[in-house]
Amino acid sequence: MKQLLLVFIGGGAGSSLRYLLAKWLNPSTDGFPYGTLTTNIIGSLLIGFILGWALKTNSLSTNSTLILATGFCGGFTTFSAFAYENHLFLKNGDFFNFIIYTLLSLILGFSAVFIGIWISKIY
């Protein structure tokens, strides 16, 4: 039960921060979803760093990993918004932004995880 509560608290904090960042970067619903892209890249970097650090130093407890990686990063990043925004691009015939958004999300997301792990190794 304690572990579920830790994931709940971390997820709530991550979701709240994602909401604020999306409101700031996406002032209207028209246009490119910079907020979702930014949160997913930052979240990928963070989870790479957190899990890389946990493996390297063995200093993060299971509870710390649950609240930070599973909870916070899980709540902060959002695959469902990414999928929905791509649906809107396709629905509107905006194939250019669909391709750019998908490629940026995948390439930058994977790269951010690897960079996060790399950063954890050098510190």
Binding residue positions: 74, 77
| Nearest one of 5, 2, 18, 3 to 74, comparing CA atoms | 18
Exposure string (b/e) for 83-120, b if CB count within 10 Å is 16 or more?
eebbeebeeeeeeebbeebeeebeebbeebbebbbeeb
Annotated binding site for Na(+): 74, 77
Q: Which two three-digit tokens encode residue 14?
A: 């991550």
Structure tokens at 65: 């990993």
| Residues 36, 78 contacting (CB under 8 angstroms) | yes
Report the candidate in 4, 9, 41, 36 with the shortest Cα–Cα distance to residue 23.
Answer: 36
